[in-house]
Structure 1
Amino acid sequence: MLFKKKGKLKKEYDRLLLSQIDKMRLKWMNQKSIWDKCFDLNEDLEQKVKISKLKYYYLFKEAKVRNIKLDIKNK
């Protein structure tokens, strides 16, 4: 009974991680798009884009370490 909860929690946190990856990817792409269209090269905006990219790659790496498989059929 105790071990069944572990699998349920892992699935819940895996779904949460996948949703965070999607949100971070959208945030990174939006900031990158704004930075690409910007006439004035703002260093602050460039740093935000780099930070968003690093956060996205970190979450992606974490998903790989946790061996999360994306089920495309259910998406």
Structure 2
Amino acid sequence: MKKRKKQREVDRQLLDSIFYAEAEWKKLQNIIENSIEPVQESQQKLQLAEAKYMFLLREAKHRKISVLRY
């Protein structure tokens, strides 16, 4: 029983991380789209944010976590 509660808590933290990473990625994407001359560093930050988001999505898929369940 305790293990299940711990797992639910970790799953909830993973979902929160996914939502945060998505918001960060979209924010950076919007900034770069509206920039006249995006800097190389901005492009790298965008790629890193996208990679984090995709990794978290794959982890949620691997754990079979759905937003609809929570």
- C-alpha deviations, 1:19-46, integer Å up to 9, x for none? 0000000000000000011111311000
Match of 1:7 in 2: 4
Identity of aligned residues (%): 30
Structure 2's unaligned 5+ residue stretches are: none
Question: In structure 1, the residue corresponding to 2:68 is in which secondary structure?
Answer: coil
| Greater helix fraction, Structure 1 or Structure 2 | 2
- C-alpha deviations, 1:32-74, integer Å up to 9, x for none? 00001111131100000000000000000000011112227x6
TM-score (normalised: structure 1): 0.88
User: Rg larger in 1 or in 2?
Assistant: 1
The answer to whether 1:60 aligns with 2:49 is: no
Structure 1's unaligned 5+ residue stretches are: none
Match of 2:34 in 1: 37
TM-score (normalised: structure 2): 0.94
The alignment of Structure 1 onto Structure 2 pairs a total of residues equal to 70
How far apart are the structure 2 equivalents of 1:67 and 1:57?
A: 15
RMSD: 1.2
